[in-house]
Amino acid sequence: MRRIARLRRPSGPAVSAAKQPIAPLACPSPAARASIHTTSQTSRTRPATIPSRSPHLAHFYSTENQAVPRSLVTPGAEEDVPFSTRLEGDIVGEGTAQEPQGGLYVTPPRRTTAKRPDEVADSSYVPATIADGLESVGGLENWWEKRDHWKGDFVGFRPKRKIVEPLVLEAAVRRAVAEAFALRQAGRNEDLVGVWPEGDLHQMRRSLQLGITVAEDGQVSLNGDVAGLLEDLSWKDGLQEPAEGSATGDSSAPRKAAKKTVLSAEEVSEHKESWDASWKSVALDDPRMKFAVTKRIFQLTGQLVPDHKLPEVTNVHTLLRVLQKPPKPQTLTEEILKRRQELVELPNVTFSAKRVTRGDKEKAVGRFKLIEEELRKRDLPLEGHGFARKNKEREWLKGGV
pLDDT of residue 241: 42
- Distance of alpha carbon 342 from alpha carbon 351, whole angstroms: 13
Count CA within 13 A, CB hemisphere, residue 35.
Answer: 5
What angle separates helix 166-185 from helix 201-208, to the nearest 10 degrees?
80
Cβ count near 143 (within 10 Å):
15
pLDDT of residue 308: 93
Question: Measured between alpha carbons, how far is residue 65 from residues 61, 62, 70, 87 in Å?
Answer: 12, 8, 15, 11
Q: What is the pLDDT of residues 89-99, one digit of tens each?
A: 444 444 555 55
Q: Are 72 and 55 in contact (CB under 8 A)?
A: yes
Q: What is the pTM of this model?
A: 0.49
Residues of the chain with pLDDT under 50: 10, 13, 15-19, 23-28, 30-66, 72, 77-78, 81, 83-94, 100-101, 238-258
- Distance of alpha carbon 175 from alpha carbon 207, whole angstroms: 6
Give the CA-trace dihedral at 96, 98, 103, 107, to 10 degrees.
Answer: -90
Query: Per-domain residue ranges for the chain?
Result: 166-323, 332-397
Closest to 182 in 3D by CA, of 216, 210, 217:
210
Q: Are 178 and 229 in contact (CB under 8 A)?
A: yes
Q: What is the pLDDT of residues 26-78, one digit of tens each?
A: 444 544 444 444 444 444 444 444 444 444 444 444 444 445 555 545 555 44
Cα end-to-end span (Å), the chain: 78
